A and B are shown apart, each in its own frame.
Chain A
Amino acid sequence: MTDYAKPLPKVTDESAPFWEGCRAQELRIQRCDSCARFRFPPQKMCRHCNSVEFTWAPVSGKGTVYSFTVPTNTSPGELPARGFDYPYAVALVELEGTDGVRIASNIVDCPVDEIAIDMPVEVTFDQVTDEITLPKFRRV
Chain B
Amino acid sequence: MGSLSNVCSIVGIGETDYLVNSGRDPLLLALEAIRKAVDDAGLEPKDIDGIVSSSIDASGSEQFIASNLGLSNVSYTSEVTGLGGAACATVAHAAMAVASGMAHTVVCFRAFTPYDFTVGAKHNQSTLWAKASGVGEFLRPFGWSAMVDTFAMNCRRHMHEYGTTSAQLGAIAVAMRKHASMNPASIRSEPITLEDHQNSPFITQPLRELDGLISNNDGACAMIVTTTERARDLRQKPAKIMAAAQSLGSHPGLLWELSPFKPTITESEAAHIAPRLYAMAGLTPQDIDVAQIYDCYTYTVLTMLEDYGFCKKGEGGSFVEGGRIEIGGELPVNTHGGHLGEAYIHGFTHIVEGVKQMRGTSTAQVEDAETTLVASAVPGPTSALILGR
From residue 131 to 162 of chain B, which have CB atoms closer than 8 A to chain A? 132-149, 152-154, 156-157, 160
Contact (Cβ within 8 A) B149 A69: yes
Is the pair B156, A69 in contact by a Cβ cutoff of 8 Å? yes
> With A and B bound together, what is the CA distance between A104 and B138 in angstroms?
7
How far, in Å, is A27 (CB) from chain B's closest CB?
Answer: 12
Interface residues of B in 154-173 (CB under 8 A from A): 154, 156-157, 160
| A-B contacts, CB under 8 A, total | 131
Q: Could you say which of A41, A75, A103 contacts B204, with CB atoms under 8 Å apart?
A: A75
Query: Is the CB of B64 closer than 8 A to any CB of chain A?
Result: no
B153 touches A47 (CB 8 A): no
B33-41, B257-265, B274-282, B362-370: which lies at the interface: B257-265
Identify the closest chain A residue to B133 (Cβ): A10
Complex contacts, B133 vs chain A, CB 8 Å = 9-12, 15
Instruction: Please determine whether A41 and B160 come into contact, CB atoms closer than 8 angstroms.
Output: no
Known contacts: A10-B133, A15-B137. The answer to whether A69 contacts B153 by CB under 8 A is: yes
Looking at the assembled complex, report how far the CB atom of A52 sits from the nearest CB atom of chain B, in whole angstroms: 14
- Docked pose: A65 CA to B146 CA in angstroms: 20
Q: Does B115 count as interface, using CB distance less than 8 angstroms?
A: no
- A75–B146 contact, CB under 8 A? yes
Contacts known (A40-B261, A69-B152, A104-B142); A76 close to B147, Cβ less than 8 A: yes
Chain A residues within an 8 Å CB radius of B206: 69
Judged by DSSP, the binding face of A is loop
Interface size on A, residues (CB 8 A): 41
Considering the complex, give the chain B residue whose CB is closest to the CB of A73: B203
Residue of B nearest to A8 (CB): B141
**A12-B137, A70-B204 in contact; A77/B261 too (CB < 8 A)?**
no
Across the interface, which residues of A come within 8 angstroms of B149, CB to CB? 69, 71, 90
The listed residue with most A CB atoms (<10 A of its CB), out of B141, B148, B153, B202, is B141
Q: Is A102 an interface residue (CB 8 A)?
A: yes
B251 close to A (CB within 8 Å): yes
With A9-B137, A47-B251 already in contact, the answer to whether A67 and B265 are too (CB < 8 A) is yes
Can you list the 8 inter-chain pairs with the closest CB atoms, starting with the nearest? A76-B215, A77-B147, A9-B137, A10-B133, A70-B205, A78-B146, A7-B140, A67-B157
The residues of A with any CB-CB pair to B shorter than 8 Å are: 6-12, 15, 40-41, 43, 47, 66-79, 82, 84, 87-88, 90, 92, 100, 102-106, 117, 132, 134
Q: List 9 A-B contacts (CB under 8 A).
A: A6-B143, A9-B138, A66-B260, A73-B202, A77-B148, A79-B146, A90-B142, A92-B260, A102-B260
